[in-house]
Amino acid sequence: MNNFAVKTEGLTKVYKDFWRRKSTPALTNLNLNVERGEIFGLLGPNGSGKTTTIKLLLGLLFPTSGKSWLLGYPSSDLKIKNKIGFLPEESYLYKFLNAEEILDFYGKLFDIQRKERKCRIDRLIQDVGLEPYRKRPLSQYSKGMLRRIGLAQAIINDPELVILDEPTSGLDPIGSYEIKELILEFKRQGKTVVLCTHLLADVQNVCDRVAILDKGILQVIGSVRELLSQKDAIEFLVRNLSDDDIHAVESFIRNKNGDVLSVCHPSSTLEDIFINIIHNRK
Amino acid sequence: MVIFTIAHHTFREAIRKKILYVLFGLGIIIIIISPLFPTIDEPDARVKMMLVVFFQVVMLLCIVGILLLSATSLPSEIEEKTIYGILSKPVSRLKIVVGKIIGFAFLSALLLTILSLLNVILIQRIASRLPEGYKSILKARNEFKASKFCIQGKSHHTSEGIVWIKGGRTGIALWSFSDLCKKPNSKSSFEVEFDIKVESSKGFINTIPLAVGIEDTFQGRSKTEVLSLRIDEPLTLKIDPEIVRNGSAINITVFPIQGTDYIGVTQNDVKIFSVQKGFVSNYAKAIVITFLKFLLIVIIAVMGSTYLSAPVSIASALVVFLCGHILDFIKDFSLLIQRHDVHEHALPTMLKKPDVFLIYLDYIVKKPLEWFSVILPDFKRFDSLKFLLKGINIPLETVGVVLGYTTIYAGICIFISSVILKKREFF
Ligand SMILES: Nc1ncnc2c1ncn2[C@@H]1O[C@H](COP(=O)(O)OP(=O)(O)OP(=O)(O)O)[C@@H](O)[C@H]1O
Ligand SMILES: [Mg+2]
């Protein structure tokens, strides 16, 4: 027993080709510890082994070597899946059902009681903003709407550990903003979140710690703040200063032997502007 | 229950497919037009035709449809990766297999119920207009075979197991029946069916006069009648219920009256049937057996689909289905090849150089065929049509044996499927 939300020890996966010969090493000797209650980012370029890691954790694939634990239990343990929510990297959903039916199906797989199930489904559909489309078959959903229903399905069992594989792919900026808010909400509720993505912007504002994979090998692991902070530099953000005052401050720093690297107006990100515009219109 | 969730889901997915409605519609059309198919002139031929069409044609259609659906269900989930959604939930892989099977079993049951109801209603309507003598097809008869068979006097000759008797009391064929009334049932009546071969030295004639005696061995009462036996046609004779009720053991004697006539008889040529109404319950039993056949096919198709891709699993399930029906043929065929061996081991040929071709044939064809016929399901066991056509009550033991066979076969298949699926990775 260990008390990590996710723990892997020497996890390795080599895909075999048609003739069962080992061909592609997708993940090599991964050691990870994800604490309970943290938001953990698994980063890496395309084909770096993020999805492979998740499939190994969920038992969709079997490791070539190594072991993994979820919430303290071996990941092959079926019971543990009661406490896990999973959003696959694409929306693999039954297209002939509508939002209500599909959530009901997944709710039943968790053996959630009828009344409770109905209650959660109503709330989730509301939360992911699909209320107007709840009776529409998924075959008529847009990619982003599918993503939303996928997310709803991942948390229908009120999981302790949520594994999200590229949750923001296909979502509009509002959607990805909302997802980020949702992830922070999970953290407030004490859930653990494992977030796979290659969109660094997603990670920066949200994750407590990240691991960066490349070609299946773990490159870095650490807290976001630690990784990003430049220990030898410092930044001021000041308002209401005249040009003369700015020059005075600059020369004061020079006198103290400090290098002034840049003096500029802070720019907001395009994402901020987009969200501002959309919000103001509403 | 998670299994029933998956079963319900499987069912719902299947009934949203077009192929099912096409088959269903086709089945209904065939059943409705089946009374119009041309048949021979005999009054009950129409009913027989409807039974044959239902059990051979409509059921074949349905089986192929169900087979297609059940062989593609799992592969398409794996292909479209919707299986991730199930596997990431606390659902064991065995439950997925069983859930799928139950879903298709339910679908089969529904299909069978609707179609068979339609068929049985139509049959009842048509049969209500049949002349009295031909209503035996609408009955459920229990068959009794003779416990003893002998010739009193002398037989004319014996060829190929058939004993021939010359007319005019030179010899009398006698069949003894016992235990006719295990469970005395005032509703059932009894009848004898004669299926006797006839020759006449007078050349071409249609009927010969036949003396038939029915004797109650317990009280010694007997009754003799002269019947005219049509050549190449079975003859049915009602027995006075009193005779059977008291004795439960009776003797039946037969001889041709005229010295120019001959009859050829064997032990099984004379049978006694206890007759009950109850075509519908008999039909229901036949449908239960057919349902078990559907179930077995679903299980085999699902088993194949745990490992194979959709087209391959359809093909393999079809092959198993077809071969299961020609199992006798396969067995005969492998026996046929074996005949060569006998010559091979004979002393003179030992000295000859062994025929390499035959040895190869042995290993390439015969051995695999033998194994094949052991592994394959034996669909002959599920043939309930032959009972219905003769109006014979399907014994409960037969249903039981088929049920047992299906259970064992299904158990093994489900076990194999779950082992395969457990080992499987989902990329
Ligand atoms: N079924 C498979 N058979 C063989 N190789 C595979 C298979 N699936 C993935 N791979 C290989 O494994 C490596 C890791 O793939 P993976 O899907 O884990 O990447 P990823 O980090 O999720 O990438 P992305 O950001 O594009 O989703 C890649 O080199 C890929 O080509
Ligand atoms: Mg991926």
CA A47–ligand 2 middle distance (angstroms): 7
Contact B88 A106 (CB under 8 A): no
Same domain, A114 and A220: yes
Contact B90 A78 (CB under 8 A): yes
How confident is the model over A247-266, as a mean pLDDT? Answer: 82
Q: What is the mean pLDDT of chain A?
A: 87
Q: Contact B96/B421 with Cβ under 8 angstroms? A: yes
Same domain, A202 and A120: yes
- What's the confidence (pLDDT) of residue A278? 65
- What's the confidence (pLDDT) of residue B342? 46
Same domain, A206 and A258: no
Q: Is residue A237 part of a domain?
A: no
Interface with B, mutate which of A109, A155, A164, A194 (most B CBs under 10 A)? A109
- What's the confidence (pLDDT) of residue A241? 83
Same domain, A266 and A222: no
- What's the confidence (pLDDT) of residue B281? 87
Q: Contact B330/B323 with Cβ under 8 angstroms? A: yes
A192 ligand 1 Cβ < 6 A = no
What span, in angstroms and rounded, lies between the C-alpha atoms of B381 and B8? 30
Q: Contact A93/A149 with Cβ under 8 angstroms? A: yes
Q: Is residue A194 part of a domain?
A: yes
- What's the confidence (pLDDT) of residue B346? 47
Q: How far is CA A37 from CA A76, A77, A223, B405, in A?
A: 22, 21, 14, 54
Q: Is residue A236 part of a domain?
A: no
**Nearest atom in ligand 1 to A50's CA:** 21
Same domain, A20 and A80: yes
Candidates B62, B101, B65; CA nearest to B290 is: B62
Nearest by CB to A96, from B2, B13, B91: name it: B13
- Residue B84, Cβ density class (10 Å: 0-12 exposed, 13-18 middle, ≥19 buried): buried
Lowest-confidence region among A167-176, A209-218, B351-360: B351-360
What span, in angstroms and rounded, lies between the C-alpha atoms of A168 and A257? 45
Cβ of residue A41 closer than 8 Å to a chain B Cβ: no
How confident is the model over A89-102, as a mean pLDDT? Answer: 91
0.90 exceeded by the pTM?
no
**Nearest atom in ligand 1 to A24's CA:** 5
Nearest by CB to B82, from A55, A58, A93: name it: A93
- Among A residues 206-225, those touching chain B with beta carbons less than 8 Å apart: none
Same domain, A219 and A249: no
Contact B84 A82 (CB under 8 A): no
Same domain, A122 and A174: yes
Cβ of residue A82 closer than 8 Å to a chain B Cβ: yes
Q: Residue B248 has which token pair? A: 């439960």
Sign of CA dihedral A135, A137, A141, A147: positive
Interface with A, mutate which of B84, B89, B421, B425 (most A CBs under 10 A)? B89
Q: Is residue A238 part of a domain?
A: no
Give chain A's domain count.
2
- What's the confidence (pLDDT) of residue B299? 95
The residue whose C-alpha atom lies closest to atom 26 belonging to ligand 1 is: A46
- DSSP H or E stretch at residue B228: strand B222-230
Q: Residue A110 has which token pair? A: 């968790």
The CATH 2.60.120.260 domain(s) of chain B lie at 141-275
Q: Choose which residue among A19, A24, A27, A57 to substitute to test ligand 1 binding: the one with the highest number of ligand atoms within 8 A of its C-beta.
A: A24
Same domain, A46 and A122: yes
- What's the confidence (pLDDT) of residue B316? 92
* Coil vs helix vs strand at B115: helix
Q: What is the CATH number of the domain that holds A127?
A: 3.40.50.300
B141-275 to CATH, choices 3.40.640.10, 1.10.10.410, 3.30.1300.10, 2.60.120.260 = 2.60.120.260
Residues spanned by the domain of A259: 243-281
What span, in angstroms and rounded, lies between the C-alpha atoms of B59 and B44? 22
Q: Is residue A120 part of a domain?
A: yes
Q: For chain B, which residues lie within 8 Å of any Cβ of chain A, measuring from their own Cβ?
A: 2, 5-6, 9, 12-13, 16, 80-82, 84-92, 425-427
Q: What are phi and psi of B185, to 5 degrees?
A: -135, 110
Q: Contact B274/B190 with Cβ under 8 angstroms? A: yes
Contacts of A237 (CB under 8 A, 6+ apart): A266
- What's the confidence (pLDDT) of residue B348? 47
Same domain, A37 and A129: yes
Same domain, A155 and A259: no
Q: Is residue A125 part of a domain?
A: yes
Contacts of B1 (CB under 8 A, 6+ apart): none
Nearest by CB to A92, from B16, B84, B92: name it: B84
Whether the pLDDT of residue A257 is over 70: the answer is: yes
One digit per residue, the tens of pLDDT, for chain B of length 427 reads 899 999 999 999 999 888 889 989 999 999 999 888 877 767 778 888 888 889 989 999 999 999 999 999 999 999 999 999 999 999 999 999 999 999 999 999 999 999 999 999 998 888 887 776 666 677 777 788 888 888 888 888 888 888 888 888 888 888 888 777 655 555 667 888 888 888 887 777 778 888 888 887 777 777 888 888 877 777 778 777 667 666 567 888 888 888 888 888 888 888 888 777 778 888 999 999 999 999 999 999 999 999 899 999 999 999 988 888 887 677 666 666 655 444 444 444 444 555 666 667 667 777 777 777 778 888 888 888 888 888 888 888 899 999 999 999 999 999 999 999 988 888 8
- What's the confidence (pLDDT) of residue B258? 84
Shortest distance between the Cα of A58 and any Cα of chain B, in A, equals: 6
The residue whose C-alpha atom lies closest to atom 30 belonging to ligand 1 is: A47
- What's the confidence (pLDDT) of residue B292? 95
Same domain, A250 and A218: no
Taking CB atoms and an 8 Å cutoff, what residues of chain B touch A86?
A: 84, 88
CA A178–ligand 2 middle distance (angstroms): 21
Closest-CA residue in chain B for A109? Answer: B2
Same domain, A162 and A99: yes
